[in-house]
Amino acid sequence: MGSADERQRFLTQVRKACAIAGKLRKLGVRRYGIVRIDSAASPAEWAKNPAENTRRIADTFRQACAIAEDYGERLAAEGEICWGGMHSWKRMAGLLEMVNRPKTLGFQADMAHTLLFTLGCNAPEDRILPEGFDWSREDVLSNALQTMATVLRPWTIDFHVAQNDATVKGSGSHDKTGWHCLPDDPNGKLDIVRHAGVWMRGDNGAATRAFEHICWDGCMFPNAVMMDPATWRKVLGVMIAVRNAHGWD
């Protein structure tokens, strides 16, 4: 949403990413996949002129779609509260609709980040869960996740299994971003296997079959955690459980 030069630099990076992805596909090491994009702007910057900035982001994303189509690639907009114009579930859905390239641009749902959509961390007006929510109310949480997923699931072409403790870093009204937790974190708020189903199954309960693989998003962990074999036993265990509960051939 920046200057013309800044937007062109963004599009150059999209072109490079699509070219690399295309080469990997031709080599046979990448039979499918997406190229992830975001608005490369903070919610605070976006909030200075929401209508114009959203228009610019949508226009840039449409140009990115044209580039991706030239390479036979698809793009996924990252669902995270730190990206301006994409920082709430309603804003994300509105942007995807404005771009209106559903065959090329979809949504990347990350369980940790999308939980924060329900809390309205950078967009209080769009929160679904009530203030002072009692996390023991599993039914209320599940309904909130379902409400969000009903809107964003039709756009979802990439899915990250993750855990979140509902905390954020950043102190202002529009500068918060989320954390990830290990799957067995005692402060984790998600029932990972159960809540993965709101993204992997439609409102009718049938598997969406909208993507060909799932992955674990565990960014923000220190190296010592990443190098511990126990970390990956836990991650793979929950990934297998998600696959067994909601996957497809």
Instruction: Encode pLDDT of 78-89 as tens digits.
Output: 999 999 999 999
Q: pLDDT tens across 115-138, in order?
A: 999 999 999 999 999 999 999 999
Model confidence at 16: pLDDT above 90 = yes
pLDDT band at 171; cut points 50, 70, 90: low
Model confidence at 174: pLDDT above 70 = no
Q: What's the mean pLDDT when you consider all of the chain?
A: 93
Model confidence at 172: pLDDT above 70 = no
Q: pLDDT tens across 76-117, in order?
A: 999 999 999 999 999 999 999 999 999 999 999 999 999 999
Bigger pLDDT: 218 or 16?
16
Going 62 to 66 to 68 to 72, the CA torsion angle's sign is positive
d(CA 55, CA 80): 19
**Looking at the domain 4-246, which fold is it?**
TIM Barrel (3.20.20)
